[in-house]
Chains A and B, each alone.
With several copies, the nearest count.
Chain A
Amino acid sequence: MEEMLYSSAHEMIFGFAKKPVTVANGLTFGKGKVVPEVNFTLPPMDLAHENVPEIRERFKDIAHRIMERCVELQQEEVVIEFEHLFDMTERPDFGAQLTKDLKEVIEKYRQSHGTKAALRVTVADIRDRTRPPRMRSGKEIETMLRSFELCADAGADILSIESTGGKEISDNALMIGDVEGLLFALGVLGPRDMDFLWREIVSIARRYDVVPGGDTACGFANTAMQLAHQGLLPKVLAAVVRLMSAPRSLAAVEVGAVGPLKDCGYENPVIKAITGVPISMEGKTSACAHSSPLGNIAAAVCDLWSNESVQDVKLLSGNTPEVFTEMLIYDCRLMNTAIEEGRAEILRDLMVDSDRFLDPQALILDPKVMYEAARVIVNAGEDKFKQAVAVSRYAHGVVKEAEATNKIRLRGVEAKWLEKIGKILEHLPEEEEEFYASVKARYEGHFIPEEYGLN
């Protein structure tokens, strides 16, 4: 990547992407409207073979309820995400059958009400099952690719995954606050796996004429956010990890993913700034899935607005999927009205300002910061390690600066960590090779170099 598709942060705004994406039924993302993306999952129950008929019924019912609520609220465009649970990828026919079931309901509503709905299918990364994981060899990757194919064939409009290359290192690194380990996971291993995996996914998507959406650093940056939420990690570290993950997630787009990127990739705005792809984001309305300090600010430059995931349970007014559909619709209505009335920038800035200084993780999500981070990445050249280091330093600097100017208040321990992170980032080798050499021994045995094209 040599240049950026946006020439200023100000230009970035919800509902508009420089490179809109259209799915088969004509539904377009990033062309002047924010579209709700509804996610759901099963309530406590198990996925045994004998439950498949029940699960299919429930899936159809959920889709039906979501679509019905859209009709009632005159919402004409919607995305339903079907995020596989382990077994749905592991048993590709199962995942494909559910894809087909969901698509049928969607199709029914297109015919009866003209509702334009798209189905995003997110395959599970089952390679994470064994440690150290086999990323390129072995039956896991085969099964996953087969699952992508069957789902594409069964009616998926958009393919996604939350891939885990490097997680075998980052899990532990997060626990012990090992910044170098995180860099190794996100700057060295992750991008290599993304490059490998996404070439495969893009080629499948092309073959079936569906959209290769995108990936997310969920397993890294959102784990960090969760750990920080539980008081287990400093928020400043989670903030740095967020930007550190951007070069890795960008890799999918570099080999052909076109968006909409996955909702839980809070690093998405960086990628949008560079490549112009539409992005899905989640914030306050995903409180069902996880608490976050990013409720409003996350919406600032989104093209789709999601609830991350809610298990299907009964509330007073109906079940959770349709309840969250309704809330997303109203959020989107507000943004779309702002677009129509030429007030989008004001609303965006309000969303940003409302969260910005309350948490370092929110600070990082400011579109201005995200935009500058994009620039830092582009300026760092093609080398993913260099990108990751540069953008981590940038993240650190942003928090530091906000603290120094009293824009953000950090507790004493947080401030100490910020110092510490700064020092580590400062004293890193500049070249990947050198870095790899310096940490290889430390992580030996925890990952398989060949599985990343390393040695």
Chain B
Amino acid sequence: MGTLEKLRDALIEGKVEEVKHYTQQALDENTPAKTILDQGLIAGMDVVGVRFKEGEYFLPEVLLCAKAMHAGLDLLKPLLVGESGQSAGTVVLGTVKGDLHDIGKRIVKAMLEGAGYEVIDIGVDVDAEKFVESVRKHKPLVLGMSALLTTTMRYMKTVIDALQNEGIRDKVKIIVGGAPVNEEFAKSVGADGYAPNASEAVDLVKRLTAA
């Protein structure tokens, strides 16, 4: 088994130290950073994704693997200048005003990070002003809003209106989620997408940022 296979397998097992080790070894063997990334780390995370979807991995495993991946990535980053060194893009996430439900959004964050996005979590009970501000500041590709309450979900519209008023609605793709939200509602508030769970949220973000 070559180093890249070992790296990939170590990642799949969530072994942080081994991932570091094999990443370094691959570099030492003069494998190009981009190849290590693609055939080692990303190939590994792809398997992790599949295992998760098939119920072989739970969230803790996924988070651990993501952590291992980031450990490897840290070694590669300096060498990955240009497009491939960049994160897949920035995503800002927050739970809307009046709503303290946190976990769903954090899981979305974790899965996006696992997929290589840089995610900025602006917390719970976030008002429109703060959403606007963070879009201005972080210039994310995607803004995600979470709401778990029937009485806060409408606030998503308030936020989107605020972005509109500030003239920056079009600078960002907006996605929404949380138990009471669905596709129909997402459309009705003018969001660009909805996902029922974290792994579909990743697919959604990929789709939206590809376009």
* Minimum Cβ distance to chain B for residue A267 (Å): 20
> Mask for A229-258, Cβ within 8 A of B = 1, else 0?
011111000000000000000000000000
Task: Give the residues from 65 to 110 in chain B that come closer than 8 angstroms, CB to CB, to chain A.
Answer: 98-100, 102-103, 106-107, 110
In the complex the two chains form, is B55's CB within 8 Å of A175's CB? Answer: no
In the complex the two chains form, is B150's CB within 8 Å of A47's CB? Answer: no
* A153 interfacial by beta-carbon distance below 8 Å: no
Query: What are the residues of chain A within 8 A of B179 when measuring CB–CB?
Result: 316-317
Query: With A44-B150, A44-B154, A171-B102 in contact, do A314 and B59 touch (Cβ < 8 Å)?
Result: no
Query: What are the residues of chain A within 8 A of B198 when measuring CB–CB?
Result: 232
Query: What are the residues of chain B within 8 A of A85 when measuring CB–CB?
Result: 98, 149, 151
**What separation, in Å, do the CA atoms of A161 and B190 have in the docked complex?**
36
* B124 interfacial by beta-carbon distance below 8 Å: yes
**What separation, in Å, do the CA atoms of A231 and B198 have in the docked complex?**
11
Query: What are the residues of chain A within 8 A of B103 when measuring CB–CB?
Result: 171, 174-175, 223, 227
Residues of chain A at interface, number, CB under 8 A: 34
In the complex the two chains form, is A177's CB within 8 Å of B151's CB? Answer: no
* A42 interfacial by beta-carbon distance below 8 Å: yes
* B197 interfacial by beta-carbon distance below 8 Å: yes
In the complex the two chains form, is B59's CB within 8 Å of A413's CB? Answer: no
Q: Residue on B with the closest CB to A44?
A: B150
**What separation, in Å, do the CA atoms of A177 and B98 have in the docked complex?**
28
**What separation, in Å, do the CA atoms of A314 and B196 have in the docked complex?**
13
**What separation, in Å, do the CA atoms of A91 and B154 have in the docked complex?**
20
**What separation, in Å, do the CA atoms of A442 and B141 have in the docked complex?**
34
Query: What are the residues of chain B within 8 A of A233 when measuring CB–CB?
Result: 58-60
Q: How large is the interface on B (under 10, 10 to 19, 20 to 34, 35 or more residues)?
A: 20 to 34
In the complex the two chains form, is B98's CB within 8 Å of A47's CB? Answer: yes
* B152 interfacial by beta-carbon distance below 8 Å: yes
Query: What are the residues of chain A within 8 A of B152 when measuring CB–CB?
Result: 46
Query: With A128-B100, A175-B110, A176-B63 in contact, do A43 and B58 touch (Cβ < 8 Å)?
Result: no
Query: With A171-B103, A230-B197 in contact, do A45 and B150 touch (Cβ < 8 Å)?
Result: yes
Query: With A44-B150, A46-B151, A176-B63 in contact, do A171 and B106 touch (Cβ < 8 Å)?
Result: yes
Query: What are the residues of chain B within 8 A of A314 when measuring CB–CB?
Result: 180, 182, 185
* A87 interfacial by beta-carbon distance below 8 Å: yes
> Mask for B119-135, Cβ within 8 A of A = 1, else 0?
00001110000000000
In the complex the two chains form, is A411's CB within 8 Å of B55's CB? Answer: yes
* A330 interfacial by beta-carbon distance below 8 Å: no
Q: Among the listed A44, A177, A230, A231, which residue makes an inter-chain contact with B153, where contact means beta carbons less than 8 Å apart?
A: A44
Q: Among the listed B55, B57, B110, B154, which residue makes an inter-chain contact with A46, where contact means beta carbons less than 8 Å apart?
A: B154
In the complex the two chains form, is A234's CB within 8 Å of B58's CB? Answer: yes
Query: What are the residues of chain A within 8 A of B100 when measuring CB–CB?
Result: 86, 128-129
In the complex the two chains form, is A129's CB within 8 Å of B124's CB? Answer: yes
**What separation, in Å, do the CA atoms of A317 and B180 have in the docked complex?**
8
**What separation, in Å, do the CA atoms of A45 and B147 have in the docked complex?**
13
* A311 interfacial by beta-carbon distance below 8 Å: yes
In the complex the two chains form, is B107's CB within 8 Å of A175's CB? Answer: yes
Q: Among the listed A47, A128, A176, A411, which residue makes an inter-chain contact with B60, where contact means beta carbons less than 8 Å apart?
A: A176
In the complex the two chains form, is B58's CB within 8 Å of A129's CB? Answer: no
Q: Among the listed B56, B99, B153, B197, which residue makes an inter-chain contact with A86, where contact means beta carbons less than 8 Å apart?
A: B99
Q: What are 13 A-B interface contacts by the 8 Å CB criterion?
A: A41-B150, A43-B150, A46-B98, A129-B124, A131-B123, A171-B102, A175-B60, A175-B106, A176-B64, A230-B197, A232-B58, A232-B107, A233-B58
3 nearest A-B residue pairs (beta carbon): A177-B60, A232-B59, A44-B150
